Structure 1
Amino acid sequence: MPDRRVTHLWDEQRLTGRWFAQHLNNAQEIIWDGYLLYGPDAKWETLPEPLIGSSTGTVIGSGEVLQQQIIPLLKE
C-alpha cells in the first residue's frame, strides 16, 4: 500500500498463513487474504484467544460480517 504508515512484509514461503490454517483447524491448507479478529482482552499464549471472528476468504467478500463483528468492539 502506498502509505508511509504501512509496513509491507512478504512471506514468500507462506509460513504465517499455513501456521494459522493448521492451528485454527481451518479446512483450507492456507489462510490467504483473510482476517482474524481479536478483542482488547486477547492473550497470545499457545494461540491468541479468544478469536472473535475470522474469514478465510477475501476481506472484501466478508465486509458486512467483519463490520458486524467489529462494531461492538468500538463501543467498548
Structure 2
Amino acid sequence: MAGARWAQSELLDKNPKADVRVFAIWFRMYPGDAESKWPRGLLTDTRVEHRWDEPKAAGRWFLTRLTTLRPSRGGDGKFPQQADALWDCYLLFDRNAAWNDTPTGVLSWGYTLMRTRDQLLKDFQFAIGAGQ
C-alpha cells in the first residue's frame, strides 16, 4: 500500500497535467487479501484504471516473461521474490508501446515499488518530458 500512496503523491499529484495512464492490478497475495478489502482510497487519480485479478493472470504472465521484455532495465537489477505472480512492482512503458504477444517499449521495471522508487521517479520524469 505504501507504494500506491507514494505513486499517487509523488508521481500523479505532482504532475497533474502529465499525459499518462496508470493500470493498477490488484490480487490476493496474503491471507486476508480480498476484493472486498480492496483499498479504493489509494490511487484516486482519474488517470488510474483499477482491476481486481483474482486468478493473478497478469502477475503470472509478467513474472514468467519479465526477463524477455525489451529493453531489459530491471530497476536495481534484483529479480522479484519467489512467488507465483509478479506483485508490488512497477512496469513503465513509453507511449509508443505496442501490446501484441509481448509488449514493447519498456522503459524500466522495479521491485519492490518502494525500494526502486528513485529509478521510477527518474524514468517517469523522463517519459513525461519533465525538466526539458
More strand by share: 1
Query: How many residue pairs are counted as aligned between the two chains?
Result: 75
Distance 1:43 1:8, change over 3 A: closer
Instruction: Confirm whether residue 15 of structure 1 aligns to residue 69 of structure 2.
Output: no
Deviation at 1:41?
1.1
Report the Cα distance in structure 2 between the residues aligned to 1:19 and 1:40, rounded to whole angstroms.
Answer: 21
- Identity within the alignment, %: 28
Which of residues 53, 62, 72 is equivalent to 2:108?
Answer: 53
Report the Cα distance in structure 2 between the residues aligned to 1:63 and 1:40, rounded to whole angstroms.
Answer: 20
Matches within 5 A, 1:1-76: 1-2=40-41, 3=44, 5=46, 8-25=50-67, 28=82, 29-55=84-110, 57-75=111-129
Report the Cα distance in structure 2 between the residues aligned to 1:15 and 1:40, rounded to whole angstroms.
Answer: 24
Report the Cα distance in structure 1 between the residues aligned to 2:50 and 2:127, rounded to whole angstroms.
Answer: 26
Unaligned runs of 5+ in 2: 1-39, 69-78
Distance 1:7 1:50, change over 3 A: closer
Q: Give the match's secondary structure for 2:121.
A: helix
Unaligned runs of 5+ in 1: none
More helix by share: 1
State TM-score, norm by structure 2.
Answer: 0.48
Higher CA-based Rg: 2
